[in-house]
Each structure stands twice: as C-alpha cells, then as structure tokens.
Structure 1
Amino acid sequence: MLQCCPNGARPADVYPAVPMSPRHLARDARAVAALGVESLHVHPRDRDGQESLAPGVIGTVVGTIRREAPELEIGVTTARWVEPDPLKRTELIGQWGKLPPHARPDVASVNVHERGWQRVCAALDAVGIGVELGVWTTGDAVQLKQAGLPRGTVRVLAEVTVTDPDTAVAEAVRILKALGPVPAPILLHGEEGGAWPVLEYAKRNHLDTRIGFEDTLKGPDGTWLATGNEELVRYAQGKDVAGRYERRRSGGRAGGLRGSSLWPGGSRAEHRR
C-alpha cells in the first residue's frame, strides 16, 4: 500500500506547491488517487494556516477531500505540537465523533513517544476512528512492544527521523528489529534526505510505505524541488515524469533515475540533498 502525505507540519509558506487549504488538499488527493494511492495522511489547517484539531476544521478538510476522492482512506494527525494537552486532545477527538460520516477521518496517527498516547488511542477507538501508531525510535518500538497494540490499531507507522541518506536505512532496520512481529501492517517511511532510501528499502521488503511533501520536497536525486505530490508519487511507483531528465546531458547525474532502483532493472542510485 502506498500512502501520500501531502503537507505535514511544514510552514504554510514553505513552498507554493505544498497544499494547505481544503481545496488544494482535495485537488492533490484526486490526482494521487488516480495514480492508485489508497491512503492520505493530512495535517488540517484553519483559515490562518495553523494546524488544528478543532472539529470544524477537521470536518471541513476531510469532507472536502472526500468529495473529490471518495475511495481514499483519509487520515489526520493528533500530534502534541498541535494540541499539547492530551486531555484537550481527547475532548476534541470526542467531538469528531459527532461529525457526519463523510466529514469524519477514517484513521488518525498517534505518536507513541507523546504523553497520554494510550488515552488518545482510546478516544479514537471510542468514536470509531482507526489508529495509526507512530514509532520514531527503537525506544518507541520497545515501549509499544511492552504495552501491546491498543484496540482499533490499523497499522504501525515506522517513521525514520534520521535524515542522512547514508544511515537512514540502517536506522530503519534497527526500528523494525526492535518492533519484531506485530499483529498489524507496518508502514515504513523516512524524511528529507532519508525519504527515498527508506522508501526503496520498504519496497524491496514488501512493506507499506508513503511519500509526499510532508516527508520531502525533493525528488530522488535530491537536487530539484518536485512540482507536486503527484510527481513524487509517480517516482515512488517507478514512473518517469516526462522531460524531467531528458534535458540533462553527459556528466554528473545526467540520466537521473535511469541509474536508480526506482527504474525496473536499475541499480541503486545515490540519494543526496
């Protein structure tokens, strides 16, 4: 399964192609759904561009996306930087349960390292929203293994926060080893310089993965800004983007992904920022 993460916690003015408004998120959702993406993980924003867990904001964003891409699983964040108080978070999630079905998220991510994570998971399960458990470190993995998966868990998100492309995969292996067998699918992904190497590792090992502007603004060679989430998804699927590399000539990295394992039969490319 390939998930798209179109915006994340990036500043609203980070790059014009990153979708922030409900309309722009819905536009990107429609585009990536047409490519076969099955799940979308979004960070809803209020009218001022600030991340929000308010039910009105969640309902507007999810409902707008659902109208354009009704077949997609739609997930949102519950990160503590959006609402630091776990009790307040659970109160807001309780209000999500009153949203109409089309405006209610299918899943929500909960980071295991955050205080009150089990309470947040229980609040999501109580209103029928699935849980994606965010595991960022080997310590998180051990903690989750000891606690056990809470009811309502849909998948475990193994999130490699090491951004060095030379060491990100090694960190992914450590996290997966610490997790061990779990009774839920594992979605493995990296970020920034580590995004593409970790995605490639996930593909080779038949794990779910994701790509989008939350994880990286750049394509697999690390030198150019992607034109949109759709372009990132195409590369994750092993597809070329017409003309992107045809203009490059001999020397350096000419030929782009034709030396990458994202191309059938290719060798592993260097991934550098």
Structure 2
Amino acid sequence: MLQACLNGARVPDSHPALPVTPQQLAADAAALVALGVTHFHLHPRDVVGLEVLAGPEVATAVSVVRALVPRAELGVTTAAWIQPDPVRRAELVEGWAGLSAGRPDVASVNVHEDGWLDTVAALQAANIGIELGVFHEEAARTLVRAGLPDGTRRILAEVQPGETTTEADALLRLLEPLGAPILLHGEDDSAWPVLDHAARLELDTRIGLEDTLLNPDGTRTRDNAELVAYAQRAIRANAVR
C-alpha cells in the first residue's frame, strides 16, 4: 500500500503546490486516486492555514475530500504540537465521534508524545482507526511495553531526517513481534532511501509533500502527483528485482 501524505506540518509558503484548504486537499486526492492511490493522510487547517484538531475544521476537510474520493481511506493527525495539552487534545479527538461524514477513518498518534494513550482511548471511543507513529527506538520499546491497542490499523515506522536504513531496520526489529501491519517511511533526506527500502521489504510506505519537497534526483518536485508517480515507479522496480 502506498499512502499519500498531502501536506503535513509544512507552512503554506514552503511549496507552491502545498494543499492547505479543503478544496486543495480534495483536488490533490482526486488526482492521486486517478493514479491508483486509495489511502490519504491529511493535516486539516484553519482559515489562516494553521493546523487544528477542532471538530469543525477536521469535519470540513474530511467531508470535502470524501466527496471527491468516497472510496478512499482518509486519515488525519493528532500531533501534540497542534494542541500541547494532552487532556484538551484527547477531548478534541473524542469530539470527532459526532462528525458524521466529516469523521476521519483513521488518525495517527505519536507514541513518544505525552498523553498518547489518552488520545488512543479517545479515538477508540469515537470509533476511529488508529495509526501509531513510532519515531525512534525508545518509542518502539514504549509501544511494546504497552501492547498493541485495540483498533490499530497499522504502525507508522518513521525514520527521521539524517537517519538511514540502519535506523529503519532497528525499528523494524523491535516492532515486528507486535504483529501489526507496518508502514515504513522517511522524511526529507531519508524519504526516498527509506521508501526504496520499504519496497524491497514489501512493506507499506508513503510519500507526499509532508515527507519531501524533492524528487529522487534532488530536483524540486512539481506536486504530490509527481512524487506519487516517482514512488510508484520505485515500488514497481523493486518488485521485479
């Protein structure tokens, strides 16, 4: 599975094609569905482009995207940098239960963040699937000690900028005994090497302007569609080796 991570935490002027508004996110998703993508990760924004966890903005982003890609899995973030107070963060997430057509299918929870288990519980209460973000070995050990929460769709093994496939393999060794599907991906300079590594290992992976602004050859990418096209070619190439 190739997931498209359309915008992430990047500021609106970081790339001219970065989708910020619900309409921009929906247009990108529709273009990528035409390429065969069916899994999307979104960071909803408010009217000035700041990331939010508030129900109205989340519902608007998800429902507008869903109207154009009704069969796709739509996921959002619960990152602590958006709402640092873990109690308030869990309250906001639990409120997503009543969003109807604007309720996301899944949401990512970063295991290293304070209050992550409360956020997981809020997603369970809202009947939203869980993606567990694991950024480093200590987070992997934390997850192993806690056990895999009910409702987990996948683990996001996230290799940080400046790291390599060595760090990827260390995460995988710790996470694989949990038995959950693993989506392995990098960020910035680790994005393309880790995507190739995931393809060689036949693991799920992801790409998009959240993870990199560059094509594999180092040139500035045109948009999410160009990144996905490169990723699909890389996955196909590794599949025939």
Q: Is the 8 A contact 1:44 1:57 kept in 2?
A: yes
Aligned-residue Cα RMSD (Å) equals 1.6
Q: For the Cα contact (< 8 Å) 1:6–1:42, is it kept in 2? A: yes
Aligned twin of 1:123: 122
**Number of the residue aligned with 2:172:** 176
1:85 is the counterpart of 2:89: no
Q: Is the 8 A contact 1:3 1:210 kept in 2?
A: yes
Unaligned runs of 5+ in 2: none
Quick check: 1:122–1:151 contact (8 Å CA) kept in 2? no
Q: Alpha-carbon deviation of 1:38?
A: 1.9
Query: TM-score, structure 2 length as denominator?
Result: 0.96
Could you tell me the percent identity over the aligned residues?
Answer: 53
Shift of 1:51: 0.3
The residue number in structure 2 matching 1:249 is none
Residues 1-273 of structure 1: matches in 2 within 5 Å? 1-100=1-100, 102-161=101-160, 163-164=161-162, 167-222=163-218, 224-238=219-233, 264=237
Write the deviation string for residues 245-267 of structure 1: whole angstroms up to 9, x where unpaired: xxxxxxxxxxxxxxxx667489x
Partner Cα separation in structure 1 for residue 204 and residue 176 of structure 2: 16
User: Displacement of 1:34 after TM fit?
Assistant: 1.3
Which residues of structure 1 form unaligned runs of 5+? 239-260, 269-273
Normalising by structure 1, we get a TM-score of: 0.85
Equivalent position SS for 2:177: coil
Distance in 2 between residues matched to 1:203 and 1:214, nearest whole Å: 19
Give deviations 1:194-225, integer Å, cap 9, x for gaps. 10000000011010000000000000012x11
One-letter code aligned to 1:227: R
* Aligned equivalents of 2:212, 2:238: Cα separation in 1: 25
1:140-170 Cα distance to aligned partner (Å, 9 max, x none) = 1111011101111110000001x23xx5111
1: distance between equivalents of 2:212 and 2:185?
Answer: 11
Are the counterparts in 2 of residues 138 and 179 from structure 1 also a CA contact under 8 Å? no
Determine if contact 2:199/2:238 at 8 Å carries over to the other structure. Answer: no
Q: 1:145 to 1:263 in 2, by over 3 A?
A: closer
Q: Is the 8 A contact 2:111 2:143 kept in 1?
A: yes
Instruction: State the Cα distance separating 1:184 from its structure 2 match.
Output: 1.5
Residue 183 of structure 1, CA deviation: 2.5
Contact in 1 for aligned 2:207/2:231 (Cα 8 Å): yes
Q: What is the count of residue pairs matched by the alignment? A: 240
Per residue, is there more helix in 1 or in 2? 2
Name the SS of the counterpart of 1:76 in structure 2.
strand
- Displacement of 1:24 after TM fit? 0.4
Listed one character per residue, the Cα deviations across residues 34-88 of structure 1 (whole Å, up to 9, x for unaligned) are 1111210011000010000010000000000000111110000000000001111
What is the identity, as a one-letter code, of the residue corresponding to 2:50?
Q
Q: Which amino acid aligns with 2:56?
A: G
- Given that residues 76 and 108 in structure 1 are in contact (C-alpha distance below 8 angstroms), is that contact kept between their aligned partners in structure 2? yes
Going from structure 1 to structure 2, the CA distance change for 1:53 and 1:265 (only over 3 Å counts) comes to closer
